[in-house]
Amino acid sequence: MQIKVADDRQPQILALEQVLDRSGLPTVTRKRIETENRNIRAGVKGERDAAFVIDLYFGRSENWAVIHDATFGNAGE
């Protein structure tokens, strides 16, 4: 049984691309944004691939619960 699907990261990608479209953006800032955008895209692909396999084996099972992108506790504290 699938309880939660993976979060949509497209709004973050679009926001970064909009910033990159601005003229006069410092080179250092541009490179950081490009790196962040690449990292998000790579993460999305990895999450999508993993979610496919998890859903394939466990998504329709009545004995398992699949919760994508779940966060528990106080991460980072």
User: 3-class DSSP state for residue 67?
Assistant: strand
d(CA 35, CA 20): 11
Per-residue pLDDT of the chain (77 residues; tens, 9 = 90+): 667 777 788 999 999 999 999 999 999 999 999 999 999 999 889 888 988 898 888 878 888 888 877 777 775 55
Residue found under tokens 């939660």: 4
d(CA 32, CA 38): 10
Q: Which two tokens stand for residue 18?
A: 């909009």
pTM to 2 decimal places: 0.68
d(CA 4, CA 65): 9
